[in-house]
Structure 1
Amino acid sequence: MPSRFIVRNLRENCVYHIYNRGVGEEKVFKDAQDFRVFLFYLFVYTTPIEKIMQRYSDLPRRLREKSLLGKLEIVAYTLLPNHFHLILCQHQIDGMPRLMKQVVNGFTAYYNQKYKHSGAVFLGRYKAVEVSEGNLTDLVRYIHREPGDDYEWSSYGRYVGKESFLDCDIDEVMDKYSTREEFIGFHEDTGGYTKSLEKIRSILIES
């Protein structure tokens, strides 16, 4: 991957696209439990404690004490079998690095124990690029369309009023549309989507 995707000078109150894939392009998420564990770590580190305890009343204190609430928000996500996309809005400089370290370390420990694996699960450090306001909606559409509309392991459901594992902050995107139906029309506009790929190519990371 080009070195320009290794972000060293992070900024506050900026949106970032984060991407990584399995070592050797191997599947990282092999079954539903694997997807849920990765999302579990994202959930417990970015969600108010009241909501966490409603879902996980026996959550260990060591995880509760690592909360990053207020440091960043998850805007959108898609997990594919061999890679993931996250779109985050970082409010404090250390928000994104801490989240990624905690999530990847937690998931790697789980994965290595479950599959009798040793070493890294993901290919080096995650890749990240800053996303401008003008490119945000096109990028959200891109990561949601990659697997398809009814895909369980993305935030598309949250955007269209259905259930989603994470309570993503959708306001920055949805405020650009008068109605949810207008957003769905944007999402389903294949011609517009195809044209947008050239515009956002520099922030796709995986291309």
Structure 2
Amino acid sequence: MIGDIYHICNRGIRKEKIFDSESDYFRFVLNLYRLNNKGESLRINPNRKSIDDFPEQDKIVEVLKWTLLPNHYHLLLYEKVDGGVLDFVKRLGNSYTKYINIKREASGYLFQNSARIIHITSNRHFLYIPLYIDLNLLDLIYSKSKPRKINIKKSLTFFKNYKWSSFRDYFGNRVSPFAKIINKDLFYEYFDTNTKDYHKELCGFLKAGEYEELKDELVKEKLVNLAG
């Protein structure tokens, strides 16, 4: 429905990598921009490394958060037009699968299943979902074995410098080439928070070591899948 929030996640078939190189990550990020348009996708040269001067979109969704990891991805989307989220997610999957199959000289499925499109309706989970999406990057720093001892400073530094996430556009020391993809103002308005409060909440989860508990609860509530 227009005005609602959705968590999108998918992973590679047999948990295999969907991103082999930086150019693969960039192609997916480029698609987050050019496919978010009513009617035809925007025609953009894929060799360009910034979206600052790309043509303006007539958006079907607002992208609030995104995170790409080697074998899966997470998105937080706000629906702007009826059916916009479903249309956008289908475009993303089809376009990126076609690109990878051509590159690998392969055919068939890239992703394990159709992307999970999870309608977020529970007030108590609203802020947990973006926190989960941001904190998913911990899996790139620390072993997945439990319990994990988290170094907050190390984690935040990694988050702010990791290219393939919207985190650095919220909290990084400089604006990334992909800043136009997300709508930060809408995120803060919709979730009734601000930069300082959200950062404090995130640090609180890191300090208390609550990421695993958060992840387990969201899986139990079927608000995430086991992608990450």
TM-score interval w.r.t. the shorter chain?
0.7 to 0.9
C-alpha deviation, 1:145, in angstroms? 1.2
> In the TM superposition, what whole-angstrom CA distance separates every residue of 1:67-86 from its partner, at most 9, and x where no partner exists?
97332111101111101111
C-alpha deviation, 1:27, in angstroms? 0.3
How does 1:159-198 map onto structure 2 within 5 Å?
A: 159-160=170-171, 162-164=174-176, 165-167=178-180, 168-175=182-189, 176-178=192-194, 180-189=195-204, 190=206, 191=208, 193-194=210-211, 196-197=214-215
* Aligned structure 1 segments of 4 or more residues deviating by more than 6 angstroms: none
Q: Any stretches of 5+ residues in structure 1 without a counterpart?
A: 1-10, 60-66
C-alpha deviation, 1:39, in angstroms? 0.9
TM-score (norm 2): 0.70
Residue 73 in 1 paired to residue 73 in 2?
A: no
**Structure 1's 58 and 159: CA in aligned 2 closer, same or farther, altered over 3 A?**
closer
Cα RMSD after superposing both structures: 2.9
SS at match of 1:146: helix
SS at match of 2:107: coil
2:126 to 136, 142, 151: 136
2:164 to 142, 146, 153: 153
> In the TM superposition, what whole-angstrom CA distance separates every residue of 1:100-143 from its partner, at most 9, and x where no partner exists?
22222211121111111111111221111111354232211111
Give the count of matched residue pairs.
185
1:115 to 86, 104, 107: 104
Q: Any stretches of 5+ residues in structure 2 without a counterpart?
A: 49-55, 139-158
